């Protein structure tokens, strides 16, 4: 068992696949839609084995939190119960911390206030603080691209058929459109 930000994780001996990670990231995006901040949720299984989840909501908080000295986004990605910041419940922020903790690598992109912000994580730890990398070009929202940690998940990666079925169920349950490619 390894210590990750705010929790202990892995390995899963029952052969569990990382679909729960996608569900957590999608759950955050669905909450953005249900709160009226987003209109779409997209999930892409990338050729390199990573997964990208995108929503066009208002994005995770990019401002530096004075009590921590880091961005709200970093707190959400690395600490359980760090929220709620702009979210209605701290448990909604926990889902992203869990995704990060179970990832070998994760790239966070936030489009907010006309700027594109980016932050990378390795094994749940930030490689550098959240930084502005360019103009948002009219975009807004949050994009996570993550790779499940093979030392925790011993399977062959994401099971496309199971993930597709799970996303369809979530879409029907919450009456939200989820675009899936992979």
Q: What is the pTM of this model?
A: 0.86
- State the pLDDT at residue 91: 38
* Nearest one of 146, 98, 141, 140 to 121, comparing CA atoms: 146
* Nearest one of 149, 167, 175 to 42, comparing CA atoms: 167
* Nearest one of 75, 72, 105, 93 to 5, comparing CA atoms: 75
- State the pLDDT at residue 81: 60
Residues 6+ apart with CB under 8 A from 30: 41, 170, 174, 176, 178
- State the pLDDT at residue 8: 45
Beta strand spans in 22-81 (E):
41-45, 51-55, 64-65, 70-71
Q: How is residue 130 written in tokens?
A: 């959240």
- State the pLDDT at residue 79: 83
- State the pLDDT at residue 90: 38
Beta bridge partners of 55: 41, 142
Q: What is the mean pLDDT of each run of 10 residues along the chain (182 residues)?
A: 44 65 92 93 96 95 87 89 47 74 95 97 94 96 95 81 94 95 86
8 Å CB contact between 97 and 78: yes
Beta bridge partners of 158: none
- State the pLDDT at residue 82: 56
Cβ neighbours of 24 (radius 10 Å): 20
- State the pLDDT at residue 165: 95
8 Å CB contact between 104 and 117: no
- State the pLDDT at residue 14: 53
Cβ neighbours of 93 (radius 10 Å): 26
- State the pLDDT at residue 154: 73
- State the pLDDT at residue 83: 52
Instruction: Tell me how far apart the alpha carbons of residues 63 and 150 are, in angstroms, rounded to a whole number.
Output: 33
């Amino acid at each position: 068992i390894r210590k990750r930000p705010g929790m202990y994780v892995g390995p899963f001996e029952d052969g569990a696949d990382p679909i729960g990670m996608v569900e957590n990231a999608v759950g955050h995006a669905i909450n953005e839609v249900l709160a009226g901040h987003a209109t779409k949720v997209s999930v892409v299984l990338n050729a390199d084995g990573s997964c990208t989840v995108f929503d066009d909501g208002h994005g995770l908080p990019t401002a530096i939190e004075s009590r921590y000295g880091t961005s709200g986004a970093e707190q959400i990605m690395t600490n359980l119960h760090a929220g709620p910041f702009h979210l209605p419940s701290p448990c909604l922020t926990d889902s992203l911390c869990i995704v990060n903790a179970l990832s070998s690598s994760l790239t966070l992109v936030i489009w907010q206030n006309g700027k594109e912000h980016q932050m990378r994580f390795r094994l749940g730890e930030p490689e550098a603080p959240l930084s502005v990398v360019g103009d948002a070009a009219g975009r807004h929202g949050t994009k996570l691209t993550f790779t499940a940690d093979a030392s925790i998940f011993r399977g062959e990666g994401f099971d496309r058929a199971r993930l597709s079925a799970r996303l369809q169920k979530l879409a029907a349950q919450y009456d939200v459109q989820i675009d899936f490619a992979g």
